[in-house]
Amino acid sequence: MIREIKTGRIPIKMWVDEIEEGAMEQAKNLANLPFAFRHIALMPDCHQGFGMPIGGVLATRNVIIPNAVGVDIGCGMCAVQTNLKEIDRKTIIDLLNDIRMRIPLGFKHHKRRQGHEHMPRGYDINALNVVRREYDRATYQAGTLGGGNHFIEIQKGSDGMIWIMVHSGSRNIGKQVADYYNSLAITLNEKWKSPVPRKVQLAYLPLDTKEAQAYIKEMNYCVDFAFANRKLMTKNIIEVFENTFGADFRTAPMINIAHNYAAIEEHFGEEVVVHRKGATYAGEGTTGIIPGSQGANSYIVKGKGNKDSFKSCSHGAGRVMGRKQAMRSLDLKTEIKKLNEKNIIHSIKSHKDLDEAASAYKDIDEVMRLQEDLVDILLELEPLAVIKG
């Protein structure tokens, strides 16, 4: 931990050395919530979000806050080690072309429904109002990347092996669930004359209400849908590799971890609701993934179970500038040159791609240094090629 601020109702514990004013204001709003528990934890990739900073961890007593999870419920990472040690550049380009043929990017969806076997199981869909409404559309979105900072990468590990990594979330179904329950919470909070000002964007649902229980069920469905989405993409990517390298292409078990969700956990002797918005669970011995920005290394890590971070760590490098600011201030030729010098097959092609340029993000090596008390590094993964949504 870098420092601690004690000006609010509860302290703010920070693993970040520099933080923008907007993110700090949001963290102070969290610290003054009447139901916030123990302290607020800010990870080293922390930056301003909606209501709650990205890279923030909030524990609450007896309430859940939809906006403290966010719109991309269940967004997370998966990574697979292959049995390959080298891939030449021409083969990588061919692989990328084939992957793009199989996996819709950005706002694109599959033209046909994906099988129900690729959707989450064990849920009564009829009891999930928003999920039921969105289910059919979601069958076209399973196995699709989405846009923003979502990516597919081919990487070379410090173990000498080639790795595949995917970052994606719950697509439109997650946004619909988030928006519905955040709007419902706002309406109910006004009815109840909530002590939490509407302007801070932290409307809540008490756990003992039917609305909170409904949100938890639908949120968990979206977490599972996001995982199913990554699994299907990874399956299709592996099939592309198998078509190139033969049927003996093998993989180790997939590593998967989410970074936008809320869960009931025990911390400091109490059962609380832990909201991780752009933060990753890092319980003792838990294997996790912390990706870098485009062109930067990513990491497979092992959690240390640090109680002060609510057993959490960063979910990535974290932005240093917003998307519009990046497009206004970064130079296209300079950003392309940086990636070309690293011999990375990248996705910076035009001015509109600058929102995902490396310079829009924090230095991942510094982010990792700041959380040495949260995780141990197991593997370092160097990017060879990236596909962006």
Percent of the chain whose predicted confidence (pLDDT) is above 70: 99
Q: What is the pLDDT of residue 344?
A: 96
Instruction: Using DSSP, state whether 307 is helix, strand or coil.
Output: helix
Catalytic residue among 39, 109, 167, 315: 315
Which of 179, 173, 99, 177 has the alpha carbon at shortest distance from 139?
A: 173
Question: For residues 290 and 279, what is the distance between their CA atoms, to the nearest angstrom?
Answer: 10
Q: Is 267 a catalytic residue?
A: no
User: What's at 162, amino acid-wise?
Assistant: I
Tokens of 302: 């092992």
Indicate the pLDDT class of residue 1, thresholds 50, 70 and 90: confident
Q: Where are the alpha helices (DSSP H) in the chain?
A: 21-31, 89-102, 129-141, 171-192, 210-245, 323-329, 332-341, 364-370
Q: Give per-residue pLDDT as tens, 246-259.
A: 867 666 789 999 99
Q: What is the pLDDT of residue 8?
A: 95
Residue 226 CA: distances (Å) to CA of 172, 198, 259: 10, 29, 11
> Residue 386: how many CB atoms within 10 A of its CB?
22
Question: For residues 163 and 330, what is the distance between their CA atoms, to the nearest angstrom?
Answer: 30
Question: For residues 42 and 68, what is the distance between their CA atoms, to the nearest angstrom?
Answer: 13
pLDDT above 80 (res 111): yes
**Per residue in 216-240, is it b (16+ CB within 10 Å) or e — as a string?**
bbbbbbbbbbbbbbbbbbbeebbeb
Q: What is the pLDDT of residue 211?
A: 98
Instruction: Using DSSP, state whether 60 is helix, strand or coil.
Output: strand
> Which residue has 């949504």 as its token pair?
389
Tokens of 164: 């595949």
**Per residue in 193-202, is it b (16+ CB within 10 Å) or e — as a string?**
ebebeeebbb
Mean pLDDT of 342-365: 94
Q: What is the pLDDT of residue 389?
A: 83
Q: What is the pLDDT of residue 237?
A: 96
Indicate the pLDDT class of residue 69, thresholds 50, 70 and 90: very high
pLDDT above 90 (res 135): yes
Q: Give per-residue pLDDT as tens, 47-68.
A: 999 999 999 999 999 999 999 9
The H or E element containing residue 64 is: strand 63-64
Does domain 3-320+361-388 correspond to CATH entry 3.90.1860.10?
A: yes
Question: For residues 358 and 335, what is the distance between their CA atoms, to the nearest angstrom?
Answer: 7
**Do 374 and 311 form a contact (C-beta atoms < 8 A)?**
no
**Do 75 and 48 form a contact (C-beta atoms < 8 A)?**
no
Our CA dihedral for 126, 131, 134, 140, rounded to 10 degrees, sits at -100
Q: Give per-residue pLDDT as tens, 7-42.
A: 999 999 999 999 999 999 999 999 999 999 999 999
> What long-range pairs does 185-194 form, CB within 8 A, spacing at least 24?
185/65, 185/66, 185/67, 185/211
Strands (E), 124-168: 151-157, 162-168
**Residue boundaries of the structural domains of the chain:** 3-320+361-388
Question: For residues 42 and 318, what is the distance between their CA atoms, to the nearest angstrom?
Answer: 12
Q: Between β-strands 12-14 and 3-5, what pairing exists: parallel, antiparallel or unpaired?
A: antiparallel
pLDDT above 80 (res 127): yes
Tokens of 258: 């989410």
Q: Has this prediction a pTM greater than 0.95?
A: yes
> Residue 324: how many CB atoms within 10 A of its CB?
10
**Do 262 and 204 form a contact (C-beta atoms < 8 A)?**
no
